[in-house]
Amino acid sequence: MQAPEVHPAPAKRVETGQLMTGAEMLLECLTREGVDCFFGYPGGVTIPFYDALYSHHIKHILVRHEENACFAAEGYARATGKVGVCCATSGPGATNLVTGLVDALMDSIPLVAITGQVHSKLIGSDAFQEADTFGITRPSTKHNFMVKTLQELPQIVHEAFYLAASGRPGPVLVDIPKDVFQARGHYTPVDTIHLPGYKVFTEGHTGQIRRAAQLVWEAERPMVYAGGGIVAANAAPELKEFVELSDAPAVCTLMGLGGLSCSHPNYISMPGMHGSYAANMGMTECDLLIALGARFDDRVTGQLQSFARHARVIHVDIDPAEIGKNRTPDIPIVGDVKRVLQKLNKVLQELEPEFGKKKSEARRQWWTRIRDWKAERPYDRPHAENEIKPQHLMDEIDRLSGGQAIVCSDVGQHQMWAAQLIRFNEPRLWINSGGLGAMGFGLPSAMGAQMARPDKLVFAICGDGGFQMSIPELATIMTHALPIKIIVMNNGYLGMVRQWQTLFYNNRLSAVDMSCFPDAEKLAAAYGFRGRTIDKPWQLTQALQEAINEPGPYLLNVMVSPEENVYPMVPAGGAIQDMVFGPVEPVAV
Amino acid sequence: MLQTISILLENKPGALLRVTGLLSARGYNIETLTVAKTIDPELSRMTITVEVEDRLRTQVIKQMNKLVNVLQATDLTDSPAVIREMVLLRVRCPQESRTAVLKEAEIFHARVVDSSVEGFAIEATGEPEKLDEFIDVMRSYGESEVSRSGGVAMSLESRKLRLQPPVALVGQVSDLPTTIPN
């Protein structure tokens, strides 16, 4: 195995007023923000920055495509909650970041992207590798900056980190012209930042919290709808306390998986388009929906008018613009879900003597209904004798990871099966592109997660489509000896599109055939590690175990039944209680 | 229904684009837009009139308030406010109607800013609907060309401006070691 790039990390203390270049100042700011590694790809205008990096202790991961630098930084951020950092050069480097930026924006992932820009005297002249990065990334970031002078560089970098991590997290881009990297000036550490227009409300309205607590006790059929905000706010312990105090059943969305441990007795499962029967029926029939850091996404609510139609709604979110966006709540609470839950739990306890037992009979009946729904239609987990069912694969990964491994998923059918069947006992174990659904996310995000958590077993679960978008990163994985277990769920199709074409377009399979796929063993060997293809159910356990036991990376290509569909499924635009569990009459969508 | 939005924002490059981008991304066409700096030269006041679907009006304001460069975005459509606009109009009129044109201008409290043998250039301010009438009247005298400023609005209620105070970077920065181990 090739040795990772190592440069000497000289001990140095940066003094106030020290003469430094812009590139050195940027590195000093990154150090002060606690950045230990970042992902990038150099180019013409960032050479001065990479030159300063040569003798700096911060670790740089050279990816093979800038989009993957952004995805890897997201993986790092999603696995830790820290701000992920990526870097690209001007023009094509910056434009290649855009998909990752939008992905981080949709899923509220803290990210700082640094892009080089052409010399400030050349801006606007259609210079070589010039693009209007500031303009292009404005709608794809939470905020973006263009640095014009060396003096403002440190301030802007710290503002970028602050914006990325605080409030509703998100990606922030800093565009730096080449001459700012090269300029020399006296460095003054930044001690305060001032963003007068940046309004963050964390505490929640006390009166509303009290009213919410009363509603919780008065509810006969409460349901917790926990979203990605629980994970982002590190509010899992508070959520656990809340469901235990209120004895409310809970669903975690695709972004919130692990927010409440899947082994918790109050946990039902994931709701939505491919959510479980019990979760969707529970959401439909509840009389109080407690939305915590969730945004009533169309993939969760289905047809909005009939979503939780009997329910009053408590909506807690740190972003005021999410409140009432899709559903007008009865109790809106703007605040950090962790802080709000701490207060809510306290009030719940205070009110328990007064209200606690009033609804116990109704609650008992509610739990019986939920248990019945669970028993009536659990997730389908077919196993076959001669072919590997995709659900069988996910079952085995679930068993071997024991709710402790990090699972980075790509986008498509495998993502849904993984989300349904792999159980997570903690937050930040399930990493996927939820809002944007960006194919090619799985493998690079696993690089970031493994860099952040070298102690963890990390799976990258990809479809044969998404994996082929990320193959170049096998070189990065090898270079840094990242022991990622790459599991390709190979059905020879772009499976999710194929499923829709089968169900809703008279099985006219248009542009979904992916049957040409490289030999996994040879492909892995070409990069210097081990790989294997399996297609029989009896090989599965042993092959996965072999992959896990391998000290380095491993590529396991699992040929699965090509035409398996993900169920339950809510047809697009349908109400979530109208799930289908098998092929339906084709309808136009 | 036309929505009138008043926005106080930082006078910085790109700030205007962030606001208008929110509207264009949703396919809304901006009817009028004015922007200029305030008493504090670091801030600008912007007035936008735009046709927004009723159910999305609050959402649009919330999204604007989320912008880091925006200090306050307010919907003035249904609240007490004055809205004024300015129009510059050039009308070509024959010799015999010159006096009539001047009389009409006077009725609208408009001012002649240029006079030539072909006609007049006239400046008028007022409520946008009043200016519509003014323009209609002038056009009846001859070929006209107009340049309108778009409305500028001022709320008649004082609104509390909630601003984020400066944030110390303690804990983010100074807790980290500045000495890097070998």
Q: Do B168 and A11 touch (CB under 8 A)?
A: no
**According to the model, what pLDDT value does residue B170 have?**
64
User: Of B59, B68, B71, which has the smallest distance from its Cβ to A321's Cβ?
Assistant: B59
Check whether B177 has a pLDDT greater than 50. no
Residue B45, beta-bridge partner list:
B8, B36
Would you place residue B179 in the very low, low, confident or very high pLDDT band (cuts 50, 70, 90)? very low
Half-sphere exposure of A571 toward its Cβ, with a 13 Å CA cutoff? 17
- Is A396 among the residues known to form the active site? no
Q: Catalytic residue among A25, A59, A145, A178, which?
A: A178
**According to the model, what pLDDT value does residue A562 have?**
96
- CATH number of domain containing B108: 3.30.70.1150
A229-252: burial string, b at 16+ Cβ within 10 Å, e else: bbbbbebbebbbbbbebbbbbbbb
Q: Domain of B129?
A: 82-152
Which residues from B are below 8 Å from A134, CB to CB? 14
Distance from CA of B9 to the nearest CA of A (A): 8
Answer yes or no: is B137 within a domain.
yes
Answer yes or no: is B167 within a domain.
no
**Number of domains observed in the structure of chain B:** 2
**According to the model, what pLDDT value does residue A586 have?**
54
Instruction: Give CA–CA dist A14/A18, Å, rounded.
Output: 7
Answer yes or no: is B59 within a domain.
yes
Closest CA to A465 of A502, A490, A432: A490
Contact assessment for residue A30 and residue A161, using Cβ atoms and an 8 Å cutoff: no
Q: Catalytic residue among A18, A129, A155, A303, which?
A: A129
Q: Are residues B64 and B108 in the same domain?
A: no
Answer yes or no: is B169 within a domain.
no
Q: Are residues B23 and B49 in the same domain?
A: yes
Closest CA to A397 of A387, A407, A386, A409: A407
Q: Are residues B69 and B9 in the same domain?
A: yes
Which residues from B are below 8 Å from A37, CB to CB? none
Mean pLDDT of chain B: 91
- Is A129 among the residues known to form the active site? yes
Domain A206-376 has CATH 3.40.50.1220: yes
Q: Are residues B107 and B134 in the same domain?
A: yes
**According to the model, what pLDDT value does residue A585 have?**
62
- CATH number of domain containing B13: 3.30.70.260
Check whether B173 has a pLDDT greater than 80. no
Confidence check on the interface: ipTM exceeds 0.85, yes or no: yes
Length of chain B: 182
Mutate to test the interface with A, among B10, B173, B175, B176 (most CBs of A within 10 A): B173
Report residue A70 as tokens: 């952004």
CATH superfamily of A19-186: Thiamin diphosphate (ThDP)-binding fold, Pyr/PP domains (3.40.50.970)
Report residue A32 as tokens: 């002060």
Per-residue pLDDT of chain A (589 residues; tens, 9 = 90+): 444 444 444 446 788 899 999 999 999 999 999 999 999 999 999 999 999 999 999 999 999 999 999 999 999 999 999 999 999 999 999 999 999 999 999 999 999 999 999 999 999 999 999 999 999 999 999 999 999 999 999 999 999 999 999 999 999 999 999 999 999 999 999 999 999 999 899 999 999 999 999 999 999 999 999 999 999 999 999 999 999 999 999 999 999 999 999 999 999 999 999 999 999 999 999 999 999 999 999 999 999 999 999 999 999 999 999 999 999 999 999 999 999 999 999 999 999 998 878 889 999 999 999 999 999 999 989 999 999 999 999 999 999 999 999 999 999 999 999 999 999 999 999 999 999 999 999 999 999 999 999 999 999 999 999 999 999 999 999 999 999 999 999 999 999 999 999 999 999 999 999 999 999 999 999 999 999 999 999 999 999 999 999 999 999 999 999 999 999 999 988 999 999 998 866 555 5
**% of chain B with per-residue pLDDT over 70:** 93
**According to the model, what pLDDT value does residue A385 have?**
94
Q: Are residues B73 and B92 in the same domain?
A: no
Q: Do A14 and B178 touch (CB under 8 A)?
A: yes
Instruction: Give CA–CA dist A266/A246, Å, rounded.
Output: 10
Q: Do A197 and B164 touch (CB under 8 A)?
A: yes
Would you place residue B164 in the very low, low, confident or very high pLDDT band (cuts 50, 70, 90)? confident
Q: Are residues B90 and B147 in the same domain?
A: yes
Domain boundaries, chain A: 19-186, 206-376, 390-559
Answer yes or no: is B181 within a domain.
no
Nearest CA in chain A to B63: A321
Answer yes or no: is B182 within a domain.
no
Instruction: Give CA–CA dist A343/A208, Å, rounded.
Output: 11
Answer yes or no: is B174 within a domain.
no
Q: Are residues B71 and B96 in the same domain?
A: no
Which residues from A are below 8 Å from B166, CB to CB? 192-194
**According to the model, what pLDDT value does residue A102 have?**
98
Residue A515 CB neighbour total at 10 angstroms: 10
Q: Do A197 and B70 touch (CB under 8 A)?
A: yes
Answer yes or no: is B173 within a domain.
no
* Cα distances (angstroms) measured from residue A356 to each of A218, A245, A267, A361: 9, 10, 21, 11
CATH superfamily of A390-559: Thiamin diphosphate (ThDP)-binding fold, Pyr/PP domains (3.40.50.970)
**% of chain B with per-residue pLDDT over 90:** 82
Q: Catalytic residue among A1, A2, A5, A128, which?
A: A128
Q: Catalytic residue among A496, A514, A569, A579, which?
A: A496
- Is A128 among the residues known to form the active site? yes
Q: Do A324 and B21 touch (CB under 8 A)?
A: no
